[in-house]
Amino acid sequence: MNVQRREALKAGGGLGLFGLLAAAGLITPGQARAEWNKSAFDAKTIEETLKALGAGKPENSTDLQLTAPDIAENGAVVPVGVVSTLAGIEAIAILVEKNPNPLAASFLLPAGTEAYVQTRVKMGQTSDVYALVKVGGKFLMTKKEIKVTLGGCGG
């Protein structure tokens, strides 16, 4: 009996399992998408979030529309949409100023995808909501105040 051969087989078997996990997608090989932007989602203020997103000081723009109700009865489900007439928008982000972490979501739009996204966010209290877009290397934003009558956190 060749003991070394046994050990080598065992080690080989272990590696095989690792390869299988990688192949099955449990260990994701970097696809054509960015890592989840932890620093931006963990930021506590609008300024920190903008910095983490590399947006600096975005200009206000009237070519952006934030579609949301003026008053949200239930802060747990606030429909928010961002629409723009500008061409070539590369990314959209939605920020809620007074949430513990302002960044709610960010969207990367490959060429051919329209500047139109809609989702639903949680809001702890009445707050300004910002729509931020990246177009041609520049950042633009617009904001709207949404009044919340019933908070979406804990309660």
Partner 1 sequence: MADPMKIRASAKEGVTEVKVLMSHEMETGQRKDSSGNLVPAHFITEVTAEHNGKQVLAAQFGTAISKNPYLAFKFKGGAKGDKLAVSWVDSKGDKRSDEVLIG
The closest alpha carbon to 67, from 116, 135, 136, 109, belongs to 116
Q: Which is nearer to partner 1, 85 or 113 (CB)?
A: 113
Least distance to partner 1, CB of residue 33, Å: 5
Among 11, 22, 34, 150, which residue sits at the site for partner 1 (rule: CB under 8 A)?
34
Tokens 């606030």 correspond to 78
Interatomic CA distance for residues 108 and 113, integer angstroms: 9
In the numeric block, the tokens 């200009």 are attached to 59
Span near partner 1 by CB under 8 A; candidates 1-9, 21-29, 59-67, 136-144: 21-29
Stretch binding partner 1 (CB under 8 A), from 9-17, 36-44, 64-72, 132-140:
36-44
Give the nearest distance from C-beta 3 to partner 1 in angstroms: 38
**65 to 124, contacts with partner 1 by CB under 8 A?**
76-79, 81, 96, 99-101, 103-110, 112-114, 116-123
Residues composing the chain: 155
Q: Which residue has the tokens 């617009």?
A: 142
Gap between the Cα atoms of 83 and 63, Å rounded: 9
Instruction: Name the token pair of 70.
Output: 């003026």
Nearest distance, CB of residue 16 and partner 1, angstroms: 21
Dihedral class, residue 57 (left if φ above 0, else alpha if ψ from -120 to 50, else beta): beta
Instruction: List interacting residues with partner 1 (CB under 8 A).
Output: 25-26, 28, 32-34, 36-37, 41, 76-79, 81, 96, 99-101, 103-110, 112-114, 116-123, 152-154
